[in-house]
């Protein structure tokens, strides 16, 4: 990408001018931004989304492959290159790094009926259909197995502990549980002989989760459950479950008829992919990848047909604009992939190592279209602090621009880039510029095995996530257009980034560093221990230098850029209180050094399978004391910080700066466990 030369002083002044005053899009030629804004269609993206929501897109299943083949057809029709289906076998035994592949799960039939009162002969007729796979597949828990039962319903509370079953005979009966089915299967079915499970589990709790008691939520059984615990589970709404509970409490009997034909079989991760090939012969082998996760139960509109439809629209628009000559063909290759969530990305990166090695950055979209009814907040999320990169600042700069333009349009009716779809809303985007959070495929790219800087565009919260309410009607075409624009614009900046762009980017990085410095000062003021405050300061300065140096992955830094950088970092150190004193070594100082084992690649918590507890043992895993934030946090960053150079104490210091002070013993214990199962080795 070539930008016209502008003096640093003028650029710095421009940072202070609101976009509504006519500022050009940051880092992107205005002609390219104009072309993208005109071409990207929120309506076309929503039409694709509506099609995808008709399919129950579970990993490796027949309907997932149908969705993949539909996308292939659209990519071919749009004129993309290297359009193909990446078939990677998934049979439950093959491993892709730390991900145990999950076999295909297919369903032929599933219905749950409530039975009426017993007749004179004791027989009961069907009175009401409660759940139907054909009508609403979300009512059958994922990884259910074939079975049938005509039996009484027994309420066992959460169903996950022995106390829940005390004094209750569940043999041959159906159990009503408020927890996830997989937590109840081992006790209720394998040990106590229940015929099956009916669950009203409430996951993804937000401020709105309990407002609509009619919603049915996504349920799961263990993909790798032992044969004795294989069963079926139906999902019902809280409204239905509480009505049954009231009747059972009065001494009434509730009889149900359940029938399921379903099971697992060897399959394939059928991953649609395509490219806009780069124009520069020297850079064509480097790639910017657009990522989403195609899998989800039907309807799965915002999660994640929205991300897939937005990427598909970005691909169509970029291919057309290049073909028409409206924008120059990017120097680096743009690639678009549509895998199952996390497990498919792991399979793709590990199963196609030669392709993974070419990726310079990933742009991941997961839930990007939530309209007003969803209560969604759109986030532009950075990568982990263990992976400093200017790539994250590119997206933040563009998001600030879109925030300002769409706010101007909403307030005054005038803006150069309103980015409004005719059938969509006119609200300002108000994208939250967020720190790293876990929860989708971006974390796989950023994991220490690959260390690929990744952008994460996502909605959270969403009142309908993982429920029957996640319908196309709740998705806003304007949000889809804006998400596709931000993704495409970020990709073009990165695909064309070269030495001529370093000065403009350097000004932007200095502005971002000052914002982060303000946050560091606030964080440091809350620390009681002066040594920890010094550690935080040192980490902040080291981080900003690493962000600056990350530009060298895309372009060289000349003497002028480096001299300016040194002046800035000297001033930044003064702003943060001068060069901090060395942090006294934690007692005892742990000088051990670990490196990653290149034969065990991937995060410790994947999808439907966790590597570390499997290899270490559940009891030993539970004894580890390093705090875990769901499937990330201290544990994710601790492994990411292992590089064959840092000592255990240095990793502790970095973790303490990122998440808050933590004893070195907890870090040492966790890393020793990883070493014990072969994830780490001694260099």
Model confidence pLDDT, tens digit, residues 146-161: 999 999 999 999 999 9
391-398: average pLDDT: 98
pLDDT at site 158 = 97
Q: What is the pLDDT of residues 24-81, one digit of tens each?
A: 799 999 999 999 999 999 999 999 999 999 999 999 999 999 999 999 999 999 999 9
The yes-or-no verdict on residue 91 having pLDDT over 90 is yes
The yes-or-no verdict on residue 370 having pLDDT over 80 is yes
| Token pair 């876990």: residue | 438
Calpha distance 58→71 (Å, rounded): 16
pLDDT at site 1 = 40
What percent of the chain is predicted at pLDDT more than 70? Answer: 95
DSSP, res 467: B
- In terms of Cβ atoms closer than 10 Å to its own Cβ (0-12, 13-18, 19+), residue 412 is exposed
Q: What is the pLDDT of residues 664-682, one digit of tens each?
A: 999 999 999 999 999 999 9
Q: Which of 15-19, 471-475, 649-653 has the lowest mean pLDDT?
A: 15-19
Average pLDDT score, the chain? 93
Q: Closest by alpha carbon to 326, among 317, 334, 336, 335?
A: 317
pLDDT at site 425 = 97
Pairwise pLDDT comparison (571 vs 11), residue with the higher score: 571
Q: Which long-range contacts (CB under 8 A, 24 or more apart) does 666-672 make?
A: 666/625, 666/626, 666/627, 667/590, 667/626, 667/634, 667/638, 668/590, 668/592, 669/624, 669/625, 669/626, 670/624, 670/625, 670/626, 670/634, 670/635, 670/638, 671/592, 671/594, 671/638, 671/642
Q: Do β-strands 378-381 and 432-434 pair in parallel, antiparallel, or remain unpaired?
A: parallel
pLDDT at site 18 = 39
pLDDT at site 24 = 79
Q: What is the pLDDT of residues 247-272, one digit of tens each?
A: 999 999 999 999 999 999 999 999 99
State the number of CA atoms in the 13 A half-sphere of 79 facing the CB.
9
Q: Are 224 and 100 in contact (CB under 8 A)?
A: yes
396-404: average pLDDT: 98
Calpha distance 310→582 (Å, rounded): 48
| pLDDT band at 583; cut points 50, 70, 90 | low
504-510: average pLDDT: 98
The yes-or-no verdict on residue 110 having pLDDT over 50 is yes
Task: Give the DSSP H/E element, type plus range, for residue 271.
Answer: strand 267-276
pLDDT at site 633 = 75
Q: Which of 195-204, 315-324, 348-357, 626-635 has the lowest mean pLDDT?
A: 626-635
pLDDT at site 4 = 32
pLDDT at site 209 = 80
9-17: average pLDDT: 36
The yes-or-no verdict on residue 683 having pLDDT over 80 is yes
Q: What is the pLDDT of residues 628-652, one digit of tens each?
A: 854 457 999 999 999 999 999 999 9
pLDDT at site 282 = 97
| pLDDT band at 22; cut points 50, 70, 90 | low
3-state secondary structure 83-136: EEEEEEEECCCCEECCEECCCEEEEEEEEEEEECCCCCCCCCCEEEEEEECCCC
7-27: average pLDDT: 49
Which residues contact residue 90 at a Cβ distance below 8 angstroms, ignoring those fewer than 6 apart? 59, 60, 101, 102, 103, 104, 266, 267, 268, 269, 347
DSSP, res 416: S
The yes-or-no verdict on residue 10 having pLDDT over 70 is no
Q: Closest by alpha carbon to 485, among 430, 435, 417?
A: 417
301-317: average pLDDT: 98
The yes-or-no verdict on residue 19 having pLDDT over 80 is no
Q: Are 486 and 380 in contact (CB under 8 A)?
A: yes
């Amino acid at each position: 990408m070539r930008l016209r030369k502008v003096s640093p002083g003028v650029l710095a002044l421009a940072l202070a001018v609101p976009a509504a005053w006519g500022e050009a899009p940051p880092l992107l030629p205005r002609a390219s931004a104009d072309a993208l804004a005109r071409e990207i269609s929120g309506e076309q993206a929503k039409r694709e989304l509506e099609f995808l929501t008709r399919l129950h897109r579970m990993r490796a299943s027949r309907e997932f492959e149908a969705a993949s083949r539909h996308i292939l057809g659209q990519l071919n029709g749009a004129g993309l290159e290297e359009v193909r289906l990446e078939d990677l076998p998934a049979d439950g035994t093959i491993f892709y790094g730390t991900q145990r592949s999950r076999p295909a799960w297919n369903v032929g039939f599933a219905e749950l009926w409530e039975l009426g009162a017993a007749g004179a002969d004791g027989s009961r007729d069907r009175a009401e259909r409660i759940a139907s796979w054909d009508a609403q597949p979300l009512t059958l828990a994922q990884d259910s197995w074939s079975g049938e039962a005509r039996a009484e319903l027994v309420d066992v509370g959460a169903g996950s502990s022995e106390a829940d079953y005390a004094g209750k005979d569940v043999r041959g009966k159906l159990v009503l549980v408020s927890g996830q089915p997989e937590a109840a299967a081992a006790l209720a079915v394998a040990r106590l002989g229940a015929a099956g499970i009916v669950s009203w589990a409430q996951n993804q709790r937000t401020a709105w989760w309990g407002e609509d008691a009619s919603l049915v939520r996504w349920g799961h059984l263990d993909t790798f459950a032992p044969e004795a615990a294989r069963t079926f589970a139906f999902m019902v709404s809280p409204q239905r479950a509480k009505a049954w509970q009231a009747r059972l409490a009065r001494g009434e009997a509730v009889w149900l008829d359940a029938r399921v034909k379903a099971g697992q079989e060897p399959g394939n991760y059928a991953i649609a992919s395509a490219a806009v090939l780069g124009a520069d012969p020297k850079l064509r082998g480097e790639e910017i990848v657009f990522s989403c996760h195609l899998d989800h139960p039907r309807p799965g509109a915002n999660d994640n047909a929205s991300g897939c439809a937005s990427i598909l629209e970005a691909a169509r628009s970029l291919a057309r604009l290049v073909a028409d000559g409206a924008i120059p063909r990017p120097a680096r290759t743009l690639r678009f992939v549509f895998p199952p969530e996390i497990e498919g990305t792991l399979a793709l990166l590990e199963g196609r190592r030669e392709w993974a090695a070419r990726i310079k950055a990933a742009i991941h979209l997961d839930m990007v279209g939530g309209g007003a009814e969803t209560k969604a907040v759109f986030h532009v999320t950075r990568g982990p602090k263990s992976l400093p990169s200017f790539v994250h600042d590119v997206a933040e700069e563009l998001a600030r621009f879109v925030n300002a333009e769409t706010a101007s349009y909403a307030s005054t009716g005038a803006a150069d880039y309103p980015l409004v779809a005719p059938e969509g809303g006119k609200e300002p985007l108000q994208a939250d510029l967020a720190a790293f959070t876990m929860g989708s495929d971006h974390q796989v790219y950023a994991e220490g095995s690959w260390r690929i800087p990744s952008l994460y565009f996502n909605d959270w919260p969403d009142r309908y996530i993982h429920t029957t309410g996640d319908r196309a009607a709740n998705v806003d075409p304007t949000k889809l257009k804006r998400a596709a624009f931000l993704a495409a614009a970020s990709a073009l900046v990165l695909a064309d980034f070269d030495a001529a762009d370093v000065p403009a980017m350097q000004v932007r990085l200095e502005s971002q560093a000052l914002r982060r410095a303000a946050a560091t000062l606030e964080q440091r003021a809350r620390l009681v221990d002066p040594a920890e405050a010094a550690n935080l300061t040192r980490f902040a300065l080291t981080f900003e230098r690493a962000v600056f140096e990350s530009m060298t992955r895309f372009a060289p830094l000349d003497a002028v850029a480096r001299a300016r950088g040194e002046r800035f970092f000297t001033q930044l150190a003064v702003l943060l209180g001068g060069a901090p004193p060395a942090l006294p070594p934690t007692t005892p100082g742990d000088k051990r050094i670990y490196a990653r084992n290149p034969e065990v690649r991937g995060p410790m918590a994947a999808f439907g399978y966790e590597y570390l507890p499997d290899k270490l043992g559940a009891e030993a895993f539970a004894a580890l004391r390093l705090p875990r934030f769901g499937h990330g946090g201290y544990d994710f960053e601790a492994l990411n910080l292992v590089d064959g150079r840092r000592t255990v104490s240095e990793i502790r210091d970095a973790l303490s700066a990122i998440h808050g002070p933590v004893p070195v013993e907890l870090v040492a214990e966790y890393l020793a466990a990883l070493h014990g199962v072969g994830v780490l080795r001694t260099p």
